Amino acid sequence: QKEVEQNSGPLSVPEGAIASLNCTYSDRGSQSFFWYRQYSGKSPELIMSIYSNGDKEDGRFTAQLNKASQYVSLLIRDSQPSDSATYLCAVIGTASKLTFGTGTRLQVTL
Amino acid sequence: GAGVSQSPRYKVAKRGQDVALRCDPISGHVSLFWYQQALGQGPEFLTYFQNEAQLDKSGLPSDRFFAERPEGSVSTLKIQRTQQEDSAVYLCASSGPQLTDTQYFGPGTRLTVL
pLDDT in single tens digits along all 110 residues of chain A: 679 999 988 999 999 999 999 999 999 999 999 999 999 999 999 999 999 999 999 999 999 999 999 999 999 999 999 999 999 999 998 888 899 999 999 999 99
Q: Do A51 and B40 touch (CB under 8 A)?
A: no
Nearest-CA distance B108 → chain A (Å): 7
Amino acid A47: pLDDT: 95
Whether residue A18 lies within 8 A of chain B, CB to CB, comes out as no
Residue among B79, B72, B110, B78 at smallest CA distance from B94: B72
**Interface A:B, Cβ pairs < 8 A:** 46
Which are the contacts of A67, defined by CB distance < 8 A and separation ≥ 6? A28, A30, A53
Which are the contacts of B106, defined by CB distance < 8 A and separation ≥ 6? A43, B3, B4, B5, B6, B23, B24, B91, B92, B93
Query: Which residue numbers of B have CB closer than 8 Å to A's CBs?
Result: 33, 40-45, 48, 56, 58-59, 91, 99-100, 102-108
